[in-house]
Chains A and B, each alone.
Chain A
C-alpha cells in the first residue's frame, strides 16, 4: 500500500510540473490558434537563465523564477511582435513552421552562449527528501509543485478576474467585435504570447532544478507538452492541468507496475485512446464554449 501511495505522490508531483510547462502552450493556442513548437526551447532557455542567476549571483533557483519569468515574458512579447504577428492570419502550418525554425535558432543560440555540455542546477536541497514513514517526498519536486500551483492559480485569476483576462477571452472569441469595443486585439495577443512563454519560463526554472539539461532537451519537452495539451483539449487551461496530471500519473504508474521501458510510451497511448472517443480532448469543447460565452 505504501508503495502505491509513494508512486501516486511522485506521479502528482510530476504532473504538477508538466502542468506548468504545458499551460502556456494551451493558452497561446486558445487565444491565437498558434501551435508554438518553440515552447520547449523557451522552457530550456528559462532553465539556462535560472542557472546563470543561481551560479553567478547565488540566487535560489526557485526564487529566481520571478526574474526569469519577467525576462522570458519580454522575449515572448518581442517574438510575437517581430515574428508571429506578421503571419497571424496565415494558415496554421505557417506558424508551426515558423516556431519550429525559432526553436532551432534558440537551440543554436543557447549552444553558443552556454555550450552544449549538460547543465545542472543543484541548490542545497536538490537531492534531499521529506520522509513520512516509508514514503519519501523529494524537496525540490515538492517546492516545484507548490510553485507550479501558485503560478497556475495566478494565471487563472488573471484570466478570469481581471479586465485583461476579459479582454483576452473577448479577443479569443471574436476579435472583430473586441476591436469594436475598444480592445486592442494585437496588444492583447502579444500579452498572451508573453504570458504563455512566461509560464513555460516558470516551468523551465523548476525543471532545471529537477533534471539536467542541454540546449537540445527541448525536443523531449515539446513532445510531452503537445501530448498533454491535446489530451486535455487544445486551448483549455484546466484541460492542460488535467492532461498533465494524467500524463504524470500514467508515466509513474507504468514505470512502477508495468515496466520503465513502457513509461514514456503508455501516456501517448492514453492520448490516442482518448482522442478516439473525444477528438477535442478531455475538456476541449466545454472550455472553448466558455470562452465564447464570456
Chain B
C-alpha cells in the first residue's frame, strides 16, 4: 500500500516540478523579463554565406559579453538569441517572425548580406521594430521608405568604390589605367559597388572593355577569366562576395592573366581566409574597400580587439567588427532614449544623432542610409593595410597587382 502512496507522492512532486519548469519557461518567453533583455538575430551560419555569418556571430557574441561586463543595457544583462537562416531568404523571414512572436525579443539586430537583409528588414518594419543591420548596403535597401531600418557601416554600397575611383582619376594620365573590366556577382550589394565605380571611372576617362554579371551559384570562372583576358583591361574591378572572389582571382592566374591593377569587393577583407584561398604571395597589391581596421584608434576598438583575441585567438574579421558596431548602434539608441519599449523613439533618436563606434562616427539620413565614406585597403607583404584616405592610411597605396605564384 505504501508503495502506491510513495508512487503517488513521487508523481505529485514530478508534476509540481514540471509545472515549475513550465512557469520558468513562460517567464523566459518575455522579451525583457527579470534581469535580462532579449536581443534577437538570425544569421547565415550554414549555406553559401556561412563565412560572413560565422564572423558576425563572433562579433555579436563579443558585443553581448562586453555589454554585460559593463553592467548591461539599462541595468539588464543582454540575452542574445541567434537563429540560423541557412543563407535562405524564406527561412530568414520565418526566423525573424519567430524571434518577434515566439521568442518575444525586445530588440532586433540585422543579418548579413543585402540579399538576406531585404526580406528580414521588411519583417521588422511590418512589426514596427528597430532594425540595425551590419551588412546590407545595397541602395535597394533604402529606397523602400522604411522608418525602422539603419545600416551600421559608413556608406551604402554604390559609394564603396568611389574613394578608389577618385584615386585612379587623380593619377597622372601616363600612370592612369586606360581600360577596365567589370565582372560582378548578381548580388544586390556587389553589383551597385561596381556600377558606382564604373560611372566614376568612365567619367575619369577609363574605357570599359568588359562588363558582365554572373549568377550566384557560379563555380567555374575559367571562361569568365578567358573572356576578360581577351579584352586586355589595365584594371579589373570585381564585384564579389567571398568564394567567387577567390574563384575568379584563381581563374585569372590559371589563364596567365594579371591586370596591372586589381580591385575586388568583400573577399580581400577576409584576412587569412583570402590569403589561403588565393595564395598569400598572390595577394600583393590587391585593393579593396573596407569598413574596419583592427589597428584603428576609434573609441572602444582596442578593447574590442583585445576581447576578441582573448576569446577567439585571432584578430577580428571585418564582418565581426561590423556586427559589433551594429550592437554599439543599438545600445546607443537604447541608452539615448532610456528605454527599449518605444521602437519609434529609438529610430527617431538614431536619425537625430551621431553614434561613435569602432568603425568611427556613424550618422544617417532619413532613410536609414549612412552618410560617410569607406576606407580603402590593400594587401601588402601578406597583410591587409589601410591605404586611403590619407588621414587614416597605415601605408602608401601601391599602383599595381603583383602576384608571385602559388604558395
Contacts and interface: CB of A to CB of B under 8 A. Distances in A.
Interface in B302-357: none
A120 B45 CA distance: 19
Contact of A255 (B53, B223, B276, B279): B223
Contacts of B223: 7, 10, 252, 255-256, 260, 263
Interface in A210-225: 211-212, 214-217, 219-220, 223
A129 interface: yes
Interface string B215-241: 101111011101100100000000000
A220 B214 contact: no
A129 B250 CA distance: 11
A118 B219 contact: no
Given A7-B226, A118-B277, A120-B276, A127 B406 contact: yes
B86 interface: yes
Contacts of B270: 118
A248 B228 CA distance: 20
Interface string A36-79: 00000000000000000000000000000000000000000000
Interface stretch (A91-99, A107-115, A165-173, A180-188): A107-115
Contact of A120 (B87, B253, B277): B277
A117 B54 contact: yes
Contacts of B250: 126-127
B46 A10 contact: no
Interface string B267-291: 0001001001101001000000000
B202 interface: no
A129 B406 CA distance: 12
Nearest to B57: A116
B243 A212 contact: yes
A260 B247 contact: no
A114 to B, nearest CB: 11
Given A6-B226, A260-B214, A263-B214, A116 B50 contact: yes
Contacts of A264: 215, 217-218
B243 A118 contact: yes
A111 B50 CA distance: 10
B27 interface: no
A111 to B, nearest CB: 6
Interface string A6-26: 110010001000000000000
B8 interface: no
Interface string B239-256: 000110011001001111
Interface residues of B, number: 44
Interface in B174-191: 183, 186
Given A252-B220, A259-B212, A219 B277 contact: no
B214 A255 contact: yes
Contacts of B277: 118, 120, 212
Contacts of B213: 259-261
A260 B191 CA distance: 14
Given A122-B279, A127-B406, A263-B214, A138 B254 contact: yes
B407 A122 contact: yes
Contacts of B195: none
A67 B205 CA distance: 55
Contacts of A261: 186, 212-215
Interface string B371-398: 0000000000000000000000000000
Contact of A127 (B54, B186, B254, B276): B254
A289 interface: no
A122 to B, nearest CB: 6
Contacts of A212: 243, 246-247, 277
B154 to A, nearest CB: 25
A263 B48 CA distance: 19
B131 to A, nearest CB: 24
A214 B86 CA distance: 12
A214 B55 CA distance: 14
Given A120-B277, A126-B250, A211 B219 contact: yes
A3 B230 contact: yes
Nearest to A261: B213
Contacts of A116: 45-46, 50-51, 53-54
Q: Which 6 A-B residue pairings sit nearest by Cβ, starting from the closest?
A: A260-B214, A116-B50, A127-B253, A216-B47, A255-B223, A138-B254
Given A118-B273, A129-B256, 5 more contacts: A117-B273, A122-B276, A220-B48, A252-B222, A255-B224
27 contacts: A7-B223, A14-B220, A107-B46, A116-B46, A116-B51, A118-B243, A118-B246, A118-B273, A123-B406, A124-B406, A125-B406, A127-B250, A127-B253, A127-B279, A127-B405, A127-B406, A128-B406, A129-B254, A211-B220, A211-B243, A214-B243, A217-B48, A220-B219, A260-B215, A260-B224, A263-B215, A264-B215
Interface of A: 3, 6-7, 10, 14, 107-108, 111, 115-118, 120, 122-129, 131, 136, 138, 140-141, 211-212, 214-217, 219-220, 223, 251-252, 255-256, 259-265
